[in-house]
């Protein structure tokens, strides 16, 4: 079974409460339950991690890489638009990554239109809600 890590950045722990008109009413736990079921069906063993702290996300990327994770699915939230350090950590992992955004970053504020972390990812899915994570799971085999 391939080991995959799903990393969530700042404010994603507020899903279900934060801007429900943008993100809906489902929680991060709801999202993880959905991903876990689909990951199992795809033959993946998922690990989940959420932090509001950039350094904690970087440390987790390093730790998971050292533990032999096969791939990452990431939603770094606002850090996607600002963090060269997260981009570098993903690149240094040598593992394939897919970036997911629940909302369509191209239809939001201009400062959200560019992802600094996308350069370290094989693919980006934006604006498909929670189903974007399922699409990411289905894209992974071509990168593994």
**Annotated catalytic residue: which of 23, 44, 79, 133?**
23
CA distances from 56 to 37, 49, 76 (A): 26, 10, 12
User: Pairing state of beta strands 97-101 and 123-126?
Assistant: parallel
CB contact at 8 A, 117 and 90:
yes
* Active-site residue, 81 included: no
**Annotated catalytic residue: which of 8, 44, 79, 101?**
101
* Active-site residue, 44 included: no
Q: Is 101 exposed, middle or buried (0-12, 13-18, 19+ CB in 10 A)?
A: buried
- Give the Cβ contact number of residue 11 at 10 Å: 15
Q: Is 110 exposed, middle or buried (0-12, 13-18, 19+ CB in 10 A)?
A: exposed
Spatial separation of the C-alpha atoms in residues 106 and 65, rounded to whole Å: 31
Active site residues: 23, 101
């Amino acid at each position: 079974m391939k080991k995959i890590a799903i990393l969530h950045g700042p404010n994603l722990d507020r899903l279900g409460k934060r801007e429900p008109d943008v993100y809906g009413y489902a929680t991060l736990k709801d999202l993880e339950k959905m991903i876990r079921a689909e990951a199992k069906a795809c033959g993946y063993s998922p690990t989940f991690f959420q932090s509001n702290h950039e350094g904690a996300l970087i440390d987790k990327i390093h730790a998971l890489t050292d533990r032999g994770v096969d791939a990452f699915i990431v939603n770094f939230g606002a850090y996607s638009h600002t963090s060269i350090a997260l981009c570098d950590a993903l690149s240094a992992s040598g593992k394939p990554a897919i970036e997911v955004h629940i909302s369509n970053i191209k239809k939001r504020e201009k400062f959200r239109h560019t992802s600094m972390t996308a350069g370290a990812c094989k693919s980006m899915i934006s604006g498909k809600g929670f189903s974007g994570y399922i699409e990411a799971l289905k894209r992974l085999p071509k990168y593994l």
